Amino acid sequence: MPIDPSAQVHPEAQIADDVDIGPFSVIGPHVKIGAGSRIGPHVVISGHTTIGRENNVFQFVSLGAEPQHRVYAGEPTQLTIGDRNTFREYCSVHRGTTIDQSETIIGDDNLLMAYTHVAHDCVLGNGITMANGASLAGHVRIGDYCILAGFALVYQFRRVGTMAFLAYCSGVQQDVPAFVRSAGAPAVPHGINSVGMRRRGYSEEEVAAAKRAYRTIYRSKLRLEQARDALREPAQSSASVQLMLESLEQAERGIIR
């Protein structure tokens, strides 16, 4: 039987016919869950939460709870989750607030390991890995295929670019450009995520271009606006440099140094 008799599923919830819901889970009235998803035991899904197809939610996960923000006053804000994501034990994801976009968004094919936390109004791309204990404060943006190692922390309103790598216990206080590896608290740059780039199919030419861009940003003693200008020409012929340049252009609060 897809829904365990002990689960409490509100009659107004929209649940696909083949969704498996485990014992003692609680599903609220405004929840939508797509086909092929599995909801384990003792899971709570509340608020205006929409979950796509083939997601795997393990025991004791909380999705769509009220944001931890003093200005929240019960507005019907949202949590939207894409397809094929995995949420491991004690993971928590909160819905948005009206002071931002009123929505927390998680893309496709992400792995959020045990005890991870995604706060209100965050936007996560695709293929992201958040290892045990990693946490995002409110309004954070995480690019595709990033890796956040255990207990990595990202300060509110910060951006982490495509395929960046945050090492164990990183404390990210400013933006991390695409492909950059960081470590420490506060986090500082430690080169390019060349291993990750090769695994994602980037050519050696693109890896080399990203390394040159990294040297322009961090080794040339250029100010941020000067580094942006210096990367505009190489970005025209390199997809990786273009993504790094976009990270710099979006960095309203500076980048890690």
Give buried/exposed letters for 196-227 (b at 16+ CB in 10 A, else e).
Answer: bbeeeebeeebbebbbebbebbbeeeeeeeeb
Q: Which of 83, 100, 108, 121 is catalytic?
A: 121
Q: Which of 48, 120, 150, 161 is catalytic?
A: 120
CA nearest to 51, candidates 19, 22, 10, 8: 19
DSSP secondary structure letters along 21-75? E-TT-EE-TT-EE-TT-EE-TT-EE-SEEEE-SS-EE-TT-EEEEPPS-TT--S-
User: Does residue 47 have an active-site annotation?
Assistant: no
- Residue 57 burial (CB count, 10 A): 27
- Residue 132 burial (CB count, 10 A): 16
User: Does residue 138 have an active-site annotation?
Assistant: yes
Q: Measured between alpha carbons, how far is 191 from 214 in angstroms, rounded to an integer?
A: 7
> Which 3-state string (H, E, C) describes 190-217?
EEECHHHHHHCCCCHHHHHHHHHHHHHH
Q: Is 227 helix (H, G, I), strand (E, B) or coil?
A: helix
Say if strands 135-136 and 56-57 run parallel, antiparallel, or are unpaired: unpaired
User: Does residue 18 have an active-site annotation?
Assistant: no
Q: Which of 28, 34, 40, 138 is catalytic?
A: 138
Angle between helix 204-218 and helix 239-250 axes, rounded to 10 deg: 30
Residues 157 and 172: beta-carbon distance below 8 Å? no
Query: Which of the residues are catalytic?
Result: 120-121, 138
